[in-house]
Each structure stands twice: as structure tokens, then as C-alpha cells.
Amino acid sequence: MMIHAWSGYKKYAWGYGALNPVKNIGISGGPFGDGKSMATIVDSLDTLFIMDLKQEYNLAVEYLNSNFEKNFKSIDPHVSVFEITIRYIGGFLSAYQLSNDKRLLNLAKFTADIMVKSIDTGCLPWTLIVPKTLLISNYNWIPGMCTTLADAGTLHLEFKTLSKELL
């Protein structure tokens, strides 16, 4: 099933956040901004590695290493701090811990260096950030300087893990 799903993603949506399997097209937008967010590639790294799909894993790592930083820094609409933290930082860290490939640790650090702006508020983390401009804000349903427990908890987990790996 993984090979089938991965092959469909590669054929119809390579680089996009996800695949619309009914229309066979790439999907952008949502919590990862517009354009080629590469969320499915990052999400798949650890699975590809664990399933010993080394050729596919290496293809994914090479693509991310060549494209992720440029694409992520160009995202102009806001993105979800929670989703970026769990999917990108967590995904890079998981694959790094399995493979010991420093490129993935570097991508996790690169992402965290941008996301840290949402934490450096003097209060609680904010929920949205524009990677291109580092403008932070909250969802309109979150009052004032508040945050959600899920956001604060996962930021702690992923950033602590990254900090430990960088020591």
C-alpha cells in the first residue's frame, strides 16, 4: 500500500503538500501555505526508511535538501505553527534519528530557526507565522495573547528534542 500511495504521489503531485487521488493532482494550501509545501515528502521519510525503500527515501531526502529551504522561506501566507512543528520539525527529526543523516537535522534546525519567532513573544507561543516575513498572529478564534495547549505542548516536545540532538 505504501508503494502504491507513494508512486501515485510521485507521479501526480511531486513536491505538493498532498495528492488529490480522485483528480490526480497536487494540493497546496491549508496549514502549510500555498505552493509546493512538500508536506507528504517530509511525512513519508521515516516510513520509507523503516520499510527499507532506500531508493525512494534517498530521492525524497535529495529533493528536500535541494528545495525545502528556498520554498519554505518564500511562503507568504500564514502557516500553522502547530502543523509546521509536528509535521516538518518532527518529521525531519524522526528521519534523522533513524538514519543519522545530518542533512535532515539541518533542515529541522532551519525550520525551527524560522518558527522560533512565534515562541519569542514574551508570553505564550502564537499560532500562525508567515515564513517570508516572520509576521506572527493568532487564529481569530483565539483571544488576545492566548494559545492552545496542543500548540504549547508539541512545541516543547519538538524543540526540546531538536535542542538535545544539536548538543
Q: What is the pLDDT of residue 140?
A: 83
Residues in CB range of 20: below 8 A, 6 or more apart: 13, 26, 27
Q: Model confidence over 57-116: pLDDT tens digits?
A: 999 999 999 999 999 999 888 999 999 999 999 999 999 999 999 999 999 999 999 999
Report the distance separating Cα 2 and Cα 103, nearest Å.
24
Number of domains within the chain: 1
Cell of 79: 502557516
**The domain that contains 120 carries what CATH number?**
1.50.10.10
Residue range(s) defining the domain that contains residue 74: 2-166
- What is the DSSP annotation of 103-153? HHHHHHHHHHHHHGGGT-SSSSPPSEEETTTTEEE--TTS-TT---HHHHH
Cell of 40: 507528504
**pTM of the predicted protein model:** 0.93
